[in-house]
Amino acid sequence: MLPPLIQKKLEQVTSRYAELEQLLASPAVLGQPGVYKSYSKELGSLSRTVSKFNEYVRFQKEFSENEELSRTSTEDAALRQMAKEEVARIDVELTRLDEELLEAVLVEDKDASRDVILEIRAGVGGDEAALFAGDLFRMYAKFAERQGWKVEMMDASPTDLGGFKEVIFGISGDFVHRDLRYEMGGHRVQRVPRTESSGRIHTSAATVAVLSEPEEVDIDLKDSDIRMDFYRSSGPGGQNVNKTSSAVRLTHLPTGIVVAIQEESSQHKNRARAMRVLRTRIFDLYENQRKEKEQSTRRNQIGSGDRSQRIRTYNFPQNRVTDHRINENFNLERIVQEGDLEALVKALRRHDRDLRMKEL
């Protein structure tokens, strides 16, 4: 049985869903493509929860009817037995929906269906840290492929050995932010580097930032607030790789946020990508400030979202990945080599849900 507070929240979600259906049919919204797209996406993200809640309400009614029938039908033993079997079957379905709806309310926030931009940066460890950053990038790319998501490279600073000092890429698809939000933080690796001849195990690190990508209607950027500079892009070691000034640097004057993109040879493409990253970083800044006000007395129990927080260790000699927030171990080869993060993500979501439930 769902707690009354959760049931009330689900009724509010259902009400919002009906409101969005009306808004999307109104001429005022139809005449604003950006607003229409935003409302459509919100409607889509709510549809699964509303459908499950409607199913839950229907099963509750059937459960009560069959339970009553199993007690009161004194003349027909076969009918009583059939009603008891239905009660048992429906009880299983209600338990399943209980779990799914609890997660929908407690874990799937308004950002759950947003696309994300991931930024991975090599930390301490020199070349080995850069190689680890490359491993993380490929791990997330494989996970995205398993989920049917789309990966788009935004910018990268590769090293001579095949790693990355920094790599920025977008991931789009269903519930991307919901499943990747827990990747924010410091990732540590323990292994013997390729360049280590004595076989000693080294510890290196990389940081991962997961930024929810805003819709155009979420944030309004004024041209007068942005300074734009163009320069020649460079490759590993800093050498110039083209003769034209195709690389773009954008500076948001009010916040001081700077974005530099040089991945493409086209200045136009680099500018478009730089604007997406800039918009996302500004949105992230404003959202963090808003959440800080709302949560001044608490931190997200699953982690503060601070990139400096160490969330996970990848121990290659022991073929083990340890997530320190839930103190659970997972098979390293499946996670890093195959991008099989499903079990890890589900464990984090379950832990997050349980903690939020305790708070209620």
Residue 62, domain extent: 4-106
Q: Is residue 196 part of a domain?
A: yes
CA distances to 195, 277, 299, 329, 356 from 289, rounded to whole Å, are 43, 18, 13, 33, 21
Question: For the chain, what's the residue count?
Answer: 360
Three-class DSSP category at 149: coil
d(CA 258, CA 262): 13
d(CA 137, CA 165): 12
Q: pLDDT tens-digit profile of 235-291?
A: 555 555 555 678 899 999 999 999 998 877 788 889 989 988 998 999 888 877 776
Q: Are 120 and 167 in contact (CB under 8 A)?
A: yes
Same domain, 195 and 277: no
Q: Rounded to two decimals, what is the model's pTM?
A: 0.75
Contact residues for 145 (Cβ-Cβ < 8 A; gap 6+)? 151, 339
Name the domain count of the chain.
Answer: 3
Q: pLDDT tens-digit profile of 187-245?
A: 999 998 876 767 788 899 999 999 988 776 667 788 888 999 888 776 555 555 555 67
Same domain, 82 and 146: no
Burial of 78 (0-12, 13-18, 19+ CB in 10 A): exposed
Q: pLDDT tens-digit profile of 136-174?
A: 999 999 999 999 999 999 999 999 888 999 999 999 998
Same domain, 206 and 307: yes
- Give the model's pLDDT for residue 235: 59
Q: Is residue 329 part of a domain?
A: yes
Q: Are 170 and 154 in contact (CB under 8 A)?
A: yes
Number of H helices, E strands in the chain: 9, 11
Same domain, 33 and 176: no
Mean pLDDT within 30-45: 83
Same domain, 271 and 353: no
Q: Is residue 111 part of a domain?
A: no
Q: Is residue 254 part of a domain?
A: yes
Split at pLDDT 50, 70, 90, the class of 112 is: confident
Q: Is residue 290 part of a domain?
A: yes
Most confident of 81-90, 113-122, 215-224, 330-339: 330-339
Same domain, 176 and 311: yes
Split at pLDDT 50, 70, 90, the class of 36 is: confident
54, 86, 106 - which closes a domain: 106
86, 106, 126 - which closes a domain: 106
Q: Are 134 and 236 in contact (CB under 8 A)?
A: no
Q: Is residue 274 part of a domain?
A: yes
Same domain, 203 and 309: yes
- Give the model's pLDDT for residue 299: 47
Same domain, 201 and 131: yes
- Give the model's pLDDT for residue 92: 92
Same domain, 125 and 192: yes
Same domain, 46 and 93: yes
* Percent of the chain surpassing pLDDT 90: 44
- Give the model's pLDDT for residue 83: 87
106, 133, 168 - which closes a domain: 106
Same domain, 122 and 192: yes
Same domain, 211 and 306: yes
- Give the model's pLDDT for residue 353: 85
CA distances to 100, 156, 240, 346 from 162, rounded to whole Å, are 42, 11, 18, 31
Three-class DSSP category at 311: strand
Placement of tokens 């940081």 in the chain: 207
Return the CATH number at 264. 3.30.160.20
- pLDDT for residue 54 is more than 90: yes
Average pLDDT, the chain: 85
